[in-house]
Structure 1
Amino acid sequence: MAKNKFHTGAGPSQRQLRVGELIRRRLSEVLAQGDVHDPELNRMSITVAEVRTSPDLKIATAFVLPLGGDHAPEALEALNRNRSELRRMVAKGLALKYAPQLRFVLDDTFDRMDATRKMFSDDRVQRDIAASHEDDDAV
């Protein structure tokens, strides 16, 4: 079976992962240096947890979170307001054919981890886990 020119597998291609990580690093540098012409954005400390790219590498979705998770809506608004300038600055430091369009999404990984921890610490869940282990031992 011949592959088409775009990756059609279940996950991202190695190229998408590599380019996403390059964009993540560059975007983190740009935000840390405070070179953007927006004092409000420069006052914020924003973590870029991950960048996922589209198969054609023309769209890059950055998963971001301000330090401590405070003022997340304002941080997202400031990033979106400066999207064009950030795109130019990120592309300037990378050797890509196209400057990817940047999209920003709040990273909820830590919230999901907390919810999972809370769920596993529930007495009913602990009881079910213990019962499951007893069933495994009996087999």
Structure 2
Amino acid sequence: MPSRDFKRTDRVGAELRRELGLLVHAAVRDHGLPSVSVSDVEVTRDLDFATVWVTALQPSYAHAAVKALNELAGEFRRALSRSMRIRRVPELRFKYDDSVDRGERIERLLREDHPPAAAGEGE
């Protein structure tokens, strides 16, 4: 019997990411929230909880955006229960994904430390 490489939690997480991306985009537009997007969704094995990782265009507003999204989590969950074919929609917890910010910071530090060499130098 072939092994299943793609677990149910992964499939549910991918579906939640697609659906929540649309819901969060609408919430940003309708509620005047800072611009955020869903970067990943991690679902627990028992499908009781889902951690929704979001990134912000302006990191200074990230805390306010995550707080507002956590307040809207119940609305999102109800909307998901109507749009998804799943018995029980996981409880949603929104968290800020700072990996993009850290990557940009590292890239900036590397550029400051080592300016690019001019063409023809070092030959």
Quickly name the TM-score band, shorter chain normalised.
0.7 to 0.9
Determine helix, strand or coil for the equivalent of 2:64: helix
CA distance in structure 1 between the partners assigned to 2:7 and 2:104 by the alignment? 30
| Higher Rg of the two aligned structures | 1
Cα shift readout 1:32-51 (whole Å, capped 9, x = no counterpart):
23499xx5xx2123200000
Residues 1:43 and 2:32 aligned together:
yes
Structure 2 equivalent of residue 102 of structure 1? 92
CA distance in structure 2 between the partners assigned to 1:18 and 1:114 by the alignment? 30
Q: Calculate the TM-score normalised by the size of structure 2.
A: 0.74
Structure 2 segments unaligned to the other structure (5+ residues): 115-123
Between the two proteins, the alignment pairs up a number of residues equal to 108
Determine helix, strand or coil for the equivalent of 1:71: helix
Residues 1:91 and 2:81 aligned together:
yes
The percentage of counterpart residues that share the same residue type is 31
Structure 1 segments unaligned to the other structure (5+ residues): 1-11, 124-139
Say what the alpha-carbon RMSD is for the aligned residues. Answer: 2.5
Q: Calculate the TM-score normalised by the size of structure 1.
A: 0.66
| Letter of the 1:43 counterpart | G
Instruction: Within 5 Å, give how 1:1-139 maps onto structure 2.
Output: 14-34=7-27, 42-44=31-33, 45-118=35-108, 120-121=110-111, 122=113
CA distance in structure 2 between the partners assigned to 1:32 and 1:118 by the alignment? 29
